[in-house]
Amino acid sequence: MLEIINNLNVYIVVIGVILFASVYASKISEKIGLPLLLIFLILGMLLGSDGIVGINFDNTLLAQAVGSIALIFILYSGGLDTYWDQIKPVVVSGVMLATLGVLMTAIILALFFYLMWDVTFLEALLLGSIVSSTDAAAVFMVLRSQKIQLKNNIKPLLELESGSNDPMAIFLTITVLQLIVMQGNSNIWEWLVQFVGQFAIGGALGLLCGYVFPKICAKVNISQPGLYPLISVAWLFMVFGLSALLGGNGYLSIYIAGIMTNRFAFPYKSHIIAFHDAVAWMMQIVVFLVLGLLVFPSQLPDVALQALALVFVLMFVARPLGVFISLAKSRYDNREKVFISWVGLRGAVPIILATYPFVYHLEQAQLIFNVVFFMVFISVLVQGMSLGFAARTLGITEDENAESKKDS
């Protein structure tokens, strides 16, 4: 601690340089189509113990705390950027992907992981649960940079799924961890009651708080515009904490609250949305750098072969099966379902969840973390770089000339 105090100015400069370089990296990402997540992870690894700078960081508890707080802001910002009129036609499909799709992905991956490594089935199911959710930020950064316009409300569907499947993955991960710690001394009915309770309470509280917040902003009548974003942060923390205390899923609450809030007009709404967008970007940068610092690249070759096999199972078996079964009754055709399957990029959430086994002191914690990190890295690299090509090859992009005629 004394060393940090004595060199505080140096640390401040270093943090500023890192943040500045991270922001500038977004320009590089847009030009070459490389997802920004990958750049931040690489930068974190270069700064870490095995990297060029050699910063010694192995505090998994701190990394988990940083990641959990970052998720609150990232999900809330995602909710605020979601328009109900756009996602309304795809709500049923999005919910099916975010629940049944996530569960199927977790189970299929668990079966393969169980066969590949000397682990228990619950430990295998833990890994499957950790990597079962998709990453919205990585997907839409690539789509925007390549100016891809998708047909048939596919973009709102992907947006809804990516924002709402994180709570499901978090719930599955924590539930499996508790089962491992209790050595399976639980029953399916307790699990189902907990599942229904978390999502019912979390969803109801999110709707209520998302409806109340615009009313509060309209009533407080504060003369300083800069205080409205502060009110939103305070409200965000209260919603998340209250949901958790009542037995709900806090992450689901804040995501739904964000969507609900965006439906209403209230004072300084644009200020609040812009503020949370900036904070969400900063949180993503910070969490990706921290997670990059946490990994030891020298340990990855030991798991590379099996992890590579798992990530291909994820991309070509688990994710497609989850999508095709979840959307069996939807209006999407096979080409569109194939593309939706390919947009299953993994991102920050799986790596954050991969720190949870350390908190529970699991024997296989390091193995699970290294496998998850490798899978996320390959998923972002392969799928992220090929999204535009996949969309054009499958013929599901909007024709720009047709769009302009329709608008006129």
Tell me what pLDDT residue 402 has.
45
Question: Which DSSP state fits 354?
Answer: T
Where b means 16+ CB within 10 Å and e means fewer, 324-363 reads: bebbeebebeeebbbbbbbbbbbbbbbbbbbbbbbeeebe
Tell me what pLDDT residue 407 has.
42
Q: Which of 371, 312, 308 is nearest to 344 (CA)?
A: 312
Under 8 Å CB-to-CB from 166, ≥6 apart: which residues?
71, 75, 133, 251, 255, 349
Residue 208 φ/ψ, nearest 5 degrees: -65, -50
Q: How far is CA 161 from CA 44, 157, 198, 224, 299, in A?
A: 28, 6, 18, 37, 33
pLDDT one digit per residue (tens) for the chain, 408 residues: 565 576 778 778 877 887 787 677 777 666 666 667 777 788 888 888 777 777 777 788 888 888 889 889 988 988 898 888 888 899 999 999 999 999 999 999 999 999 988 889 999 999 999 999 887 666 656 666 566 678 888 888 888 888 788 888 888 998 888 888 876 555 667 777 888 888 899 999 999 999 999 999 988 878 888 899 999 999 999 999 999 999 888 988 999 999 999 999 998 999 999 999 889 888 888 888 888 888 888 888 989 998 999 999 999 999 999 999 999 989 899 999 999 999 888 877 888 899 899 888 888 899 999 999 999 889 888 887 788 788 889 988 876 444 444 444
Answer whether CATH 3.40.640.10 is correct for domain 33-394: no
| CB-based contact 323:337 (threshold 8 Å) | yes
Domain boundaries, the chain: 33-394
In a 3-state reduction of DSSP, which class is residue 71?
helix
Under 8 Å CB-to-CB from 85, ≥6 apart: which residues?
none
Tell me what pLDDT residue 316 has.
95
In a 3-state reduction of DSSP, which class is residue 252?
helix
What's the token pair of residue 204?
């109801």
Q: Which of 183, 178, 150 is nearest to 398 (CA)?
A: 150
Tell me what pLDDT residue 195 has.
80
| CB-based contact 370:76 (threshold 8 Å) | no
**Rounded to whole angstroms, how far apart are CA atoms 261 and 290?**
31
| CB-based contact 106:172 (threshold 8 Å) | yes
Q: Which of 141, 163, 161 is nearest to 81 (CA)?
A: 163
Tell me what pLDDT residue 187 has.
64
Q: Which of 54, 11, 20, 67 is nearest to 290 (CA)?
A: 67
Q: How far is CA 290 from CA 35, 157, 336, in A?
A: 17, 30, 36
